[in-house]
Structure 1
Amino acid sequence: MSSIKQFQVTFDCAEPERVALFWCEVLGYVVPPPPKGFASWDDFTSSLPPEDRGSWFACVDPSGVGPRLFFQRVPEGKVVKNRVHLDVRVGTGLVGAERLAALEAECERLIALGAVRVRLLRADGVNESCLVMQDIEGNEFCLD
């Protein structure tokens, strides 16, 4: 029997630190400690060649349970819908008006952080309602 593998989720983006800090706020993640031998991330970054500065950033689940999120700078902008997206579980176990209220409350919090509301997908008898949103660089995610 094979063991479960750890994984990280990688985002291509224009501004890795900015997008990472957005997702820290969304998920309650934190910036990990700087590499050994550096007092801060700024110290580490200034040790890199100029072309590598700001090229990536990461955040982690402080409890160690969730996957690491990695953000890497790419030259091209986002042009089509994501093939993979995150579902942020804010309405688990809730149904009807109570679920919609939880989704709407979280939507308002995330809009204040720079997210964009795209559309509400109402319950259809098979799936519960969810809210489609975009992060600060247009990557789709759902409030579920």
Structure 2
Amino acid sequence: MAHEVQITFDCADPAALAEFWAETLGYRLQAPPPGFESWEQALEAMGIPPENRNDASAVVDPAGRGPRLFFQRMPEPKQVKNRVHIDVRAAPGSQGDARMAALEAAAERLVSRGAARLRRFEPAPPLEAGHIIMADPEGNEFCLD
């Protein structure tokens, strides 16, 4: 039996990081529970105080294929390099200069939204097609692949 997968991010600002990843991956914010038009309305009905309403957020793949991403507020900042990271497939199937140009365009777009560019790896055929290591607005590493 296969299991569903959720990727969880510990972060300082769940709403902002969820928005970054939703736009980066073409995901959408998870809809509020049935019977509520907004999360604000649902959290109010649940009795969640205003200071705790950004303790968590989630984004989902509108096509239902990709994993749910969950963002939870943690008081401590990121300390070390990620041992697991997300590869954003920004240039699947492309090679050489065309691939790297597509990755550079994606990197530029993400930097304008708060990401940081960390390092570029040039193509080294036959095994390495080239990629760019990035960090999201809270420092979580990911690759443009």
TM-score, normalized by length of structure 1? 0.93
Match for 1:58: what amino acid? A
The percent identity for this pair of structures is 52
The 5 A counterparts of 1:53-92 are: 53-92=53-92
The offset of 1:108, in angstroms, is 0.9
Runs of 5+ consecutive residues of structure 2 not aligned to the other structure: none
Q: Deviations over 1:88-132 (max 9, x none)?
A: 001111111010011001111111111111110112232110000
The offset of 1:36, in angstroms, is 2.2
Match for 2:3: what amino acid? K
Match of 1:129 in 2: 130
SS in 2 for 1:113: coil
The offset of 1:44, in angstroms, is 1.9
The 5 A counterparts of 1:28-67 are: 28-46=26-44, 47-50=47-50, 52-67=52-67
C-alpha contact 1:115 1:136 (8 A) present in aligned 2: yes
Q: Deviations over 1:21-44 (max 9, x none)?
A: 000110000012111232211112
Match for 1:12: what amino acid? D
C-alpha contact 1:45 1:54 (8 A) present in aligned 2: no
- In 2, distance between residues paired with 1:108 and 1:50? 35
Runs of 5+ consecutive residues of structure 1 not aligned to the other structure: none
Runs of 4+ residues over 4 Å off in structure 1: none
- In 2, distance between residues paired with 1:102 and 1:65? 24
SS in 1 for 2:57: strand
- In 2, distance between residues paired with 1:92 and 1:86? 15
SS in 1 for 2:69: strand
Match of 1:140 in 2: 141
- In 2, distance between residues paired with 1:73 and 1:57? 9
Q: Deviations over 1:3-28 (max 9, x none)?
A: 22111110000000000000011000
SS in 1 for 2:62: coil
TM-score, normalized by length of structure 2? 0.93
Match for 1:29: what amino acid? Y
